[in-house]
Amino acid sequence: MNSAVIAIHGGAGTITRAAMDAQREREYTEALEHVLREGQRVLAGGGSALDAVTEAVRLLEDCPLFNAGKGAVLTHAGTYELDASVMDGATLNAGAITCVKRVRNPVLAARAVLEHSEHVLFAAEGAEAFAEAQGLELVSPDYYFTQARHDQWQRARATAGMALLDHDAAALAAQAARAKQPEGTDPIDPDRKFGTVGAVARDARGNLAAATSTGGVTNKQVGRVGDTPVFGAGCYADDVAAVSATGTGEMFIRTVAAFDVSAQMRYAGLSLEESARRVVMEKLTAINGRGGLIAVDRAGNVTLPFNTEGMYRGIARVGEPVNVWIYG
């Protein structure tokens, strides 16, 4: 259990009735395996946990299958607003950006904040100005476009309408949308999925890091910030554990889910697995929080709990075959 290891996730959600499409399932599996092997390669070469999670999330952003970078979901206004974060457990250094519309790889902007700013979080135009000043690649919104996300957004809009300002009406509209939705093509239903991506790693020196990136939730209000760029909620790393989360972000913020995994280990002496289980299966469910997380501790233990039917996820230990799962 003492070697370098990386774990990733590509979102959690409900298994579709069309889940038996073997071709589509293979695409997801192969994409996850590819990302894991690249992260594994960074660690095998003596790279830091911080470098491994940054590279893994960059690749997940570039893959149109996942809701981050290319393939991001659309806001209610039909725009893209992306969030990302990265944290180095060895130093507690952290960087995040939220509500960016033009940065090709949000996780690289987050990494630049970590390395080159006295601040840890930038929003909107200020975040884009920072990314541009750092020489990062900017793209037009067309870059993020995928037909699948566009169709998903139109389904959400058609049923949710302007109701999203009203909590009860939104819940009713979402129920209606679920009842009417067409069969999905992803193994995990794209209309009932929380599509954040993330990575956690422990490197050969025993240091930990976490990174998370997302396009948010389909048809979200413009300006909505979820748990991804909120340290302690959707991303956290210290010298006890590194955690990346995916799910109904608001509940992960309200429970400070990622930090709580570390806190229960540090203060109550829980194991990584039990601490993460309590967060996902007890604390989040107590406020109707849905989703999952991936976590690694200093000893290289990894846990990948979720309270949905499935979560795209995998583990790669240096020198061992990669393992990928979709269902529960």
Smallest distance, Å, CB 133 to a copy of itself? 6
Q: Is residue 75 flagged as an active site residue?
A: no
226 contacts 257 by C-beta, under 8 angstroms: no
CB nearer a copy of itself, residue 120 or residue 204: 120
CB nearer a copy of itself, residue 138 or residue 170: 170
Distance CA 92, CA 73 (A): 30
53 contacts 47 by C-beta, under 8 angstroms: no
Distance CA 243, CA 294 (A): 6
- Which residues are near a copy of itself by CB under 8 A? 87, 92-94, 98-99, 116-127, 129-130, 133, 164-167, 170-171, 220-226, 230-233, 236, 250, 253-256, 259-260, 263-264, 266-268, 287
Handedness of CA 67, 76, 228, 114 (dihedral sign): positive
Distance CA 170, CA 300 (A): 41
Of 166, 158, 155, 80, give the one whose Cα is nearest residue 124.
80
CB nearer a copy of itself, residue 20 or residue 133: 133
Distance CA 80, CA 67 (A): 11
CB nearer a copy of itself, residue 207 or residue 264: 264
CB nearer a copy of itself, residue 36 or residue 84: 84
Label the pairing between strands 93-100 and 121-123.
Answer: parallel
Smallest distance, Å, CB 119 to a copy of itself? 5
To which H or E segment does residue 277 belong? helix 272-277
> How many residues are present in the chain?
328
User: Pick the catalytic residue: 16, 75, 196, 248?
Assistant: 196
Q: Which residues are catalytic?
A: 196
